[in-house]
Copies of this chain bind each other. A is one copy, B any other.
């Protein structure tokens, strides 16, 4: 059986690339470990189930303000099993939809481990099938890593592959890592009733260069308000099992007794044992496949997308790279990777969204910038919704006014940021953004206000305080 394109890994990136290749007229096949792993980490053990639980936490938050809307709650009970059930139901529905849709389109999925044998051959272990194709796209994703003495065992030390099995509200959780995973689960467990200690070895939450310090600090304040015990510049020195859980000694000298330790410390690419080394595909010392701006490896007809290409492990980055690869196969050269237009969104006690450069990154690149900020505190729609916290921050080139970055904390930041993704992609200026007609009242108005702050100079409340 000869295909135009075999995609090894039907996660978010592989699946999206496959549909795209299909609609562009190619004969496509997927190779995926098992029917239960279609959709990959994002769907089965990542962004989809966590966002479901996060919505539950958001609903619980709403109880604090319901009385202001004339709704006098008589209280509620938590049944964590129902949360798990509802969550798994969404995951399975989407997964089954994926499979049914591929079937409708007659795109075959071969189940088993796919191993590259030569630049045109994938061998599927299990069914022991040999598939041939003109092109191969490797999209095998990543797995959680451990750190030092914290080795996941599914009971005392739990990683993000294992956390989904928990079917009770833990009394106390120790979360290691203040990145996206850490702050999301800190919020979820806290709202569902757990005590939460969150340790982060660096000096702030969300300590990555593409998220500004302000965003991390704002979120930390909010999580602390909700009772999350955040310890920055702290890590776990040692830990031991107890009768009912764990006892950990932290580097700040304190001791934490908890039901378990949740590890949210990073992931490693799944690039071993699938024939990449044997074929001579170039990888870096951490095991990431080296690709060019078209997602192409050093073997011209083999492409790679997603978590195996860089430590920025986002489903949509993978989906985008996969489509770029397909376009390149079709001879197109105008669609390339672009770091500047990758939205990064964290769903915690507040939504935190970033795209493009922070002020610090611009400084490092010797670009003079101007910054405009619009607070949600006085945004009328946010006030109506009882969600008036956070801000929109626009970073623009001082000389040209071109928007270089946008950083939002607050209501629906994860949707709002897309307006600026489109604009950055197109080189739009703060003048452009300030002259759009934003609906009133809307949260989107803050994008106009922040842009006007840069374009016309500051007038807003925030700057004057």
Contact = CB atoms under 8 A, between A and B. Distances in A.
Given A55-B386, A459-B22, A68 B86 contact: yes
A336 to B, nearest CB: 11
Interface in A374-428: 378, 380-381, 383-386, 412, 414-419, 421-423, 425-426, 428
Interface string A239-274: 000000000000000000000000000000000000
Nearest to A383: B90
Nearest to A345: B439
A280 interface: no
A383 B93 CA distance: 10
A23 to B, nearest CB: 5
B70 A80 contact: yes
A319 B440 contact: yes
B104 A464 contact: yes
A239 B440 CA distance: 36
A83 interface: yes
A343 B439 contact: yes
A2 interface: no
A70 B82 contact: yes
Given A335-B435, A381-B51, A42 B440 contact: yes
A23 B454 CA distance: 12
A278 interface: no
Contact of A69 (B83, B343, B385): B83
A144 interface: no
Interface in A1-50: 12, 19, 22-24, 42-43, 47-48
Interface residues of A, number: 100
A415 B76 CA distance: 31
A69 B61 CA distance: 13
Contacts of A12: 440
Interface string A62-100: 100011111111111111111111100110011001000
A148 to B, nearest CB: 32
Contacts of A442: 345, 414-415, 418
Contacts of A320: 437
Interface string A311-325: 000111101100000
B48 A441 contact: yes
A341 B437 contact: yes
Given A383-B93, A440-B319, A101 B422 contact: no
Interface of A, helix, strand, loop or mixed by DSSP: helix
A24 to B, nearest CB: 7
A59 B61 CA distance: 11
Contacts of A51: 380-381, 384-385, 441
Contacts of A456: 23-24
A436 interface: yes
A74 B77 contact: yes
A218 interface: no
Contacts of A80: 70
A67 B59 CA distance: 11
A94 B422 contact: no
B79 A76 contact: no
A76 B72 contact: yes
Interface of A: 12, 19, 22-24, 42-43, 47-48, 51-56, 59-60, 62, 66-86, 89-90, 93-94, 97, 101, 104-105, 192, 314-317, 319-320, 335, 338, 341-343, 345, 353, 378, 380-381, 383-386, 412, 414-419, 421-423, 425-426, 428, 432-433, 435-444, 447, 452, 456-457, 459, 461, 464
14 contacts: A48-B380, A51-B380, A51-B384, A59-B71, A60-B71, A67-B82, A69-B82, A70-B82, A74-B75, A97-B461, A341-B437, A418-B438, A419-B422, A422-B423
Given A55-B386, A341-B437, A418-B436, 17 more contacts: A47-B440, A48-B384, A52-B384, A56-B71, A59-B62, A68-B82, A68-B86, A70-B80, A70-B83, A72-B79, A314-B439, A314-B440, A316-B439, A342-B437, A415-B444, A418-B439, A422-B433
